[in-house]
Amino acid sequence: MEKNKEKQFDAFLKKSIKEVELDAPSINFTDDLLKKLEVKQVEKTALVYKPLISKTNWIIICLLMLIVLLVTHMSDFEPTLGWWPSTNMDVSYVFGELPKIVISNTYLYGFVGLAFFLLLQIYFIRSHINKQYITN
């Protein structure tokens, strides 16, 4: 009984497919299609770079660091207690004798200059890369 139903259904499908004619597209089919696509085309949205720390916050941080450096440079503060705060603990058995680190002014100025120009280079490279991604 199942096979009989399948044969009838196949015959019905074959007859229906033969009766249906193929539709020919209109003359202006491609033009109409392109017009519809232009209307529905979605604009590209560029990826917007949003930094974790804004420029104003960077300026505030730099100004605070500059103020701290200037205040410490201009004051006559000389620590007399050494590395540990005001405790009377003898920790020489743990650390041994801590060496004094002496840094010359030439080395300090060189290091500060190197750090400054490194940060400047990072800033310019980052801005160059950001311009490259925004324009493309």
Per-residue pLDDT tens for 10-53? 888 788 777 777 777 778 888 887 777 776 655 555 667 788 88
> pLDDT-based confidence at 131, cuts 50/70/90?
confident
- pLDDT, tens only, 55-104: 999 999 999 999 888 877 777 655 555 554 555 555 566 666 767 778 88
Residues 67, 74: Cα–Cα separation, whole Å: 11
Structure tokens at 59: 């300026």
Question: Cα–Cα distance between 96 and 2 in angstroms, integer?
Answer: 96
- Angle at CA of residue 133, ends 128 and 122, nearest 5°: 30
pTM over 0.75, yes/no: no
